[in-house]
Amino acid sequence: MLKIEQVYWLLGAFLLFSAALNLRERRLAMAGFWAILACPFLFGEAILAALAAGTRWPAQAMGVGVLALGVMAAHGGLRAHADNAEAIAARRAAASRLGNRLFGPALAIPIVTLALVLGASHLRWQETPLIDAQHSTLAALGLACVIAFAAALRVTRAPVVSGLGEGRRLLDALGWAALLPMLLATLGSVFAATGVGDAIAAIVSAVIPTDSRLACLTAFALGMVLFTVIMGNAFAAFPVLMAGIGLPLLVLRHGAHPAVLGSIGMLTGYCGTLLTPMAANFNIVPAVLLELPDQYGVIRAQLPTALVLLGVNFLLLWLLVFQ
């Protein structure tokens, strides 16, 4: 059975491979960064088992590693080395030769992931499921990436080592920004556990008339956008705003439909994703990969769309959530 732990091990192995290549090229900061980041992927289960047994030093060592990642990122030593003109010309020639066939492996990732998730309940060997049902989406995504990698090797007729080397080059180009989505994904849980939702509820109750449906809904919608801008992730903003405004004020006091509020509320938060550099994987990474002169060019291009979608989502909330 394919488990999420196996996907983590695969990611950790690739990070160690990237660290080894950078070490061979005497790029010590980049090598150290990827080597430290590989540790929680490779040894996460062992760290949790040690904590359960009362041994804290592995988790404390990992905490020191996280601080080291922050120091290395702030120091500015995580810059990808510039390719020479010959390598750039070779890649462009290969891209021209392969043409639209290059899109096949990239499109295989979402297509295979969707197929595996929808068919996970039917993928069995006798009575054993082939994909862990508890983490079927992430496990399917990991398997889809492996399949897409194999398809890319077939299309380009490149050796495995060359494909891994190109993956390392892309990872180096992203640098510390590759880590940001993982950090932001945990931020909402941290905020909710520390009582930020209760603080928001107190502030909102003091500022707006809580007897007004429109005022509470406006605070919820704008709060989803604002916290998504701050956190870079609507998933991180959602538990905070639902705990502070959605459940106590809209659902319990004004009888809002929780499913409608949650689904359209998440879409409203995504409007903030279009507006923030904190959503690095959407807004900063493309600018880096495309070598745009303006690193915020993607955000500026998305601004009109974000505002229109915010208006549409708010209208849908007002029309549907209290039905």
In tens, the pLDDT along 95-105 reads 788 788 888 88
Q: Is the pLDDT of residue 288 over 80?
A: no
Which residue range is the domain that position 273 belongs to? 180-320
Split into its structural domains, the chain has a count of 2
Task: Determine the angle formed by the axes of helices 196-207 and 180-193, rounding to 10 degrees.
Answer: 70
Among candidate residues 132, 157, 178, the one where a domain is terminated? 178
**pLDDT attached to residue 314:** 94
User: Which residues make beta-bridge pairs with 16?
Assistant: none
Average pLDDT across the chain, whole number: 84
| pTM (2 d.p.) | 0.72
Nearest residue to 196 (alpha-carbon basis) of 237, 252, 225, 247: 237
* Per-residue pLDDT band at 188 (split at 50, 70, 90): low
Q: Are residues 314 and 221 part of one domain?
A: yes
Name residue 198's beta-bridge partners.
none
pLDDT digits (tens, 9 = 90+) for 194-245: 777 677 777 877 888 888 999 999 999 999 999 888 877 787 788 888 888 8
Within 13 Å, how many C-alpha atoms sit on residue 233's CB side?
17
φ/ψ of 315, rounded to 5, equals -60, -40
Token pair recorded at residue 220? 């919820």
Instruction: Identify which has the larger pLDDT, 52 or 194.
Output: 52
- Contacts (Cβ under 8 Å, ≥6 apart) of 65: 36, 39
What would the mean pLDDT of 109-116 be, rounded to a whole number?
A: 90
Rounded Cα–Cα distance for residues 239 and 318 (Å) = 21
**Residue 81 predicted with pLDDT over 70:** no
User: In a 10 Å sphere around its CB, with 0-12 CB exposed, 13-18 middle and 19+ buried, how is residue 294 labelled?
Assistant: exposed
Q: Are residues 24 and 103 in the same domain?
A: yes
Question: Which of 64-78, 86-100, 305-319 has the highest mean predicted lDDT (pLDDT)?
Answer: 305-319
One domain, residues 201 and 130? no
Q: Is residue 40 located within the same domain as residue 174?
A: yes
Last residue of a domain, one of 161, 178, 195: 178
Q: Identify the H or E element spanning 124.
A: strand 124-125
Average pLDDT score over residue span 272-299: 81
Assigned token pair, 145: 């990436």
Provide the Cα torsion 172, 178, 179, 180; round to 10°.
Answer: 140
Q: What per-residue confidence (pLDDT) applies to 198?
A: 74
* pLDDT exceeds 90 at position 19: yes
Q: Do residues 265 and 210 share a domain?
A: yes
Q: Does residue 80 carry a pLDDT above 70?
A: no
Torsion-angle region of 59 (φ positive above 0: left; ψ -120 to 50: alpha; else: beta): alpha
For 150-172, letters b (16+ CB in 10 Å) and e give ebbeeebeeeeeeebeeebbebb
Tokens of 161: 């080592």
Q: What percent of the chain has pLDDT over 90?
A: 22
% of the chain with per-residue pLDDT over 70: 94
Domain shared by 171 and 198, yes or no: no
Regarding whether 194 and 106 lie in a shared domain, the answer is no
- Are residues 188 and 171 both part of a single domain? no
Q: In this structure, are 281 and 233 located in the same domain? A: yes
Pair (162, 247) in one structural domain: no
Does 164 share its domain with 123? Answer: yes
Domain end (from 146, 178, 210): 178
Q: Quick one: pLDDT band at residue 284, thresholds 50, 70, 90? A: confident
Mark whether 168 and 188 lie in a shared domain.
Answer: no
Q: Which residue has the higher pLDDT, 18 or 197?
A: 18
Specify the pLDDT at position 83: 67
- What pLDDT does 234 receive? 83
